[in-house]
Structure 1
Amino acid sequence: MVTKNQIKLVVSLKQKKYRSQHRLFVVEGEKVVRELLDTGMRPFKIFAGDAVSKGKFKEAEEVSSKALKQMSSLTHPNGILGVFHMAEATDVAVQDWVVVLDAVRDPGNLGTIIRLCDWFGITKLVCSEDTVDCYNPKVLQATMGSIARVDVAYVDLREFLNQTDLPVYGAFMDGASVYTSDLPDKGILVMGNEANGISNEVSDFISKRISIPQFGAPTAESLNVATATAILLSEIRSRE
């Protein structure tokens, strides 16, 4: 039976400071929980809201609908809630293309970009320290389990970019068309903040400014950062 202290712990994990303190995070839904388990992420607790859901997870502990609703970040909890240990940090070794995010703040955007990295076989995602936390519940819902296959690191971007020998490509509105740009076998792709783009501090390390040309009437101000990431990664992979 779930205890009040366990409920209190799970609820506290909605806040970044407690996720960092306990090195735990919460995901919800059968598909995401199953993907994390199948990829070897270490569970702390799995809670099931009914016997049917519990039967699908031998690790699960059945809880009342009331307790599940207390722990859930969703308006309508979907039956399974998993608490997992965070992955240990690893060195950012560059063997392929790496995506770098400069102050991306929207959880949905980060979650989608993590999923895109998984889709395009990008295993390393490097984030500025002011990018939204990848273990934010809204980020995790948007990743649809891809968080288990993409290594996300939070670093000082200036220090990271200063140390790399790879070409650094940055997405800018006034950059050269990605469709006519030379793209190497490996490199770094920098994507900027939703409102302000790539910061001046990070721009100093960009060796090639690229853009996605607009083909329609010039009415849309810009592309969503996740959409732009999808287009650029597709073009990068198409050259291989």
Structure 2
Amino acid sequence: MLSKQDIKLIKSLNQKKFRQQHGLFCVEGIKSIQEFLNSHLELHQLYATDAAFSSEYEIITATELQKISSLKSPNKALAVFKIPKNQQSASEGLILMLDDIRDPGNLGTIIRLCDWYGIKDLVCSATTVDCYNPKVVQATMGSLTRVRVSYVDLKAYLEGSNEPVFGTFMDGDTIYTQTLPQNGIVIMGNEANGISKDIEALVTKKLSIPRFGSLQATESLNVATATAIVLSEFKRADL
């Protein structure tokens, strides 16, 4: 049976300050939890409504699961994992950088895209949404276990790097006509404002995704959609 203290702790992990304070985050759903159990992350506690795991877990009722879940329709299990220490990104290969991405769904989708395209390092600004936000974790569908996510001062990071820096802009060169390298840093900007001015100043090559519609009235692409196109073009160059 869940204690009031357990319920209070787990519910508090919906907020970033308490995730940071306790060094814990939640994962929900049998499939996603299994992905995390098979990863390098350390399990703190696992709760399930039936015998669904080989790992040690605590049986709880569906009513108790509803009390601790952040989902409208909880999926039989909830696990609490320890947040790993901030991992340093690699200095080679293709690195994706996010400048002030605020929407949890976008970040979760971008982490899945990194996993799909073999991008091991995702570097985020301090203002980018926390990757352990429950909505982000849910959207990654386990891909968070295979992508290193770090939060850094983007300006300092770029100034200390010798890699080419690519940024996505409306007025950049069409990505479909470019010769793209295997190594480098690709920056995606904020949903509403794009890449910030101080980061734009450090971009060595501006890229754009051309519009093909006859009216060309759409202002921009969703950042996750744009990320999929950009990563696809960089990886296609490897074939």
Count of equivalent residues: 237
Structure 1 stretches lacking a partner, 5+ long: none
User: Is 1:75 aligned with 2:46?
Assistant: no
Distance in 2 (CA, whole Å) between partners of 1:55 and 1:23 is 26
TM-score (norm 1): 0.96
One-letter code aligned to 1:151:
R
Distance in 1 (CA, whole Å) between partners of 2:55 and 2:153 is 41
1:108-119 superposed matches below 5 A? 108-119=105-116
User: Is 1:223 aligned with 2:221?
Assistant: yes
Distance in 2 (CA, whole Å) between partners of 1:87 and 1:151 is 10
Deviations 1:25-80 (A, max 9, x none): 0010011000011123211011002x2xx243432211122211111000111111
One-letter code aligned to 1:237:
K
1:129 maps to which of 121, 126, 129: 126
One-letter code aligned to 1:64:
T
Distance in 1 (CA, whole Å) between partners of 2:80 and 2:121 is 23
Distance in 1 (CA, whole Å) between partners of 2:211 and 2:183 is 26
**Residue 38 of structure 2: aligned partner:** 38
One-letter code aligned to 1:33:
I
User: Is 1:237 aligned with 2:235?
Assistant: yes
Runs of 4+ deviating beyond 6 Å: none
| SS of alignment partner, residue 138 of structure 1 | helix
Distance in 2 (CA, whole Å) between partners of 1:120 and 1:25 is 26
**Residue 21 of structure 2: aligned partner:** 21
One-letter code aligned to 2:3:
T
**Residue 11 of structure 1: aligned partner:** 11
**Residue 178 of structure 2: aligned partner:** 181
One-letter code aligned to 2:21:
Q
Deviations 1:178-207 (A, max 9, x none): 111121120000000000000001101100
**Residue 195 of structure 1: aligned partner:** 192
| SS of alignment partner, residue 237 of structure 1 | helix
CA root-mean-square deviation: 1.0
1:34-183 superposed matches below 5 A? 34-49=34-49, 51=50, 54-183=51-180
One-letter code aligned to 1:208:
K
| SS of alignment partner, residue 46 of structure 1 | strand
State the shift of 1:90 in Å: 2.1
Distance in 2 (CA, whole Å) between partners of 1:185 and 1:126 is 17
State the shift of 1:93 in Å: 2.2
Structure 2 stretches lacking a partner, 5+ long: none
Distance in 2 (CA, whole Å) between partners of 1:145 and 1:156 is 26
Distance in 1 (CA, whole Å) between partners of 2:185 and 2:52 is 44
